[in-house]
């Protein structure tokens, strides 16, 4: 219970557990490929979120806030990548896996965090709302470990939840309804990037 005595950890948990691009993609991947095949994607999210949070605490977040044009480019890249992922999910076939059909890789998941607007928003808020008074390196390590540690369990939950949906998505129409809803949720997030 010591973990939840620090409001930072509660904030990070709520920020990462609530639906966003990672939650949607991991749930969909768990449903399509199962928990085990989604593990590289899951671990890439955990590592990528930690790196992004650490760099935000180290000062990258302040640079982004000071350079609106760079922030706009990041938002544009995020929206386009999320739309591309939504398109792939929209056209996803129900559990028909061939060589070209695979979950997101570890590296792809790490790189996605660089343009994931939700992670930047949660990290920037955490840096400004819950400072610890540590050195920049100490603050970066504190935030990176908090985000990665908490996100490991969040990602495991959503991926496992997705893998349990296999039983409910056994018909083709159920699968298409599920992937269409998930794809539309990603489209909404791509629009929210600019709000």
Q: Which tens digit of pLDDT belongs to each residue from 95-148? A: 655 556 789 999 999 999 988 888 988 888 888 777 788 888 888 999 999 999
Q: pLDDT class for 49, splitting at 50, 70, 90? A: very high
Q: pLDDT class for 195, splitting at 50, 70, 90? A: low
Residue 20 confidence (pLDDT) above 50? yes
The verdict on residue 9 lying in a domain is no
> Looking only at Cα atoms, what is the longest distance across the chain?
55
Which residue range is the domain that position 127 belongs to?
20-192
Distance spanning both ends of the chain, measured CA to CA = 36
The verdict on residue 2 lying in a domain is no
Residue 194 confidence (pLDDT) above 80? no
The verdict on residue 143 lying in a domain is yes
pLDDT of residue 1: 44
Which of the two residues, 7 and 104, has the higher pLDDT score?
104
Residue range 164-185: average pLDDT?
87
The verdict on residue 175 lying in a domain is yes
The verdict on residue 13 lying in a domain is no
Q: 78, 108, 56: which is closest to 189 by C-alpha?
A: 78
pLDDT of residue 68: 81
pTM score of the predicted model: 0.83
The verdict on residue 99 lying in a domain is yes
The verdict on residue 6 lying in a domain is no
The verdict on residue 106 lying in a domain is yes
Residue range 59-81: average pLDDT?
78
The total number of structural domains that make up the chain: 1
CA distances from residue 57 to 16, 22, 164 in whole angstroms, order as listed? 17, 21, 36
């Amino acid at each position: 219970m010591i973990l939840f005595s620090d409001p930072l950890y509660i904030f990070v948990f709520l920020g990462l557990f609530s639906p966003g691009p990672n939650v949607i993609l991991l749930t969909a991947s768990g449903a399509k490929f199962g928990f085990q095949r989604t593990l590289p994607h899951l671990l890439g999210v955990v590592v990528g979120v930690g790196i992004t949070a650490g760099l935000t605490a180290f000062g990258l977040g302040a640079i982004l806030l000071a350079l609106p044009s760079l922030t706009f480019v990041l938002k544009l890249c995020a929206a386009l990548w999320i739309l591309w992922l939504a398109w792939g999910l929209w056209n996803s076939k129900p559990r028909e896996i061939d060589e070209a059909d695979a979950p997101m890789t570890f590296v792809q998941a790490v790189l996605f965090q660089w343009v994931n607007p939700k992670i930047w928003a949660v990290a920037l808020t955490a840096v400004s709302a819950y400072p610890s008074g540590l050195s920049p390196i100490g603050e970066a390590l504190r935030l990176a470990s908090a985000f990665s540690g908490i996100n490991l369990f969040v990602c495991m939950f959503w991926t496992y939840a997705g893998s349990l949906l296999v039983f409910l998505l056994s018909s083709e129409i159920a699968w298409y309804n599920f992937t269409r809803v998930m794809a539309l949720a990603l489209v909404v997030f791509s629009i929210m990037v600019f709000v």
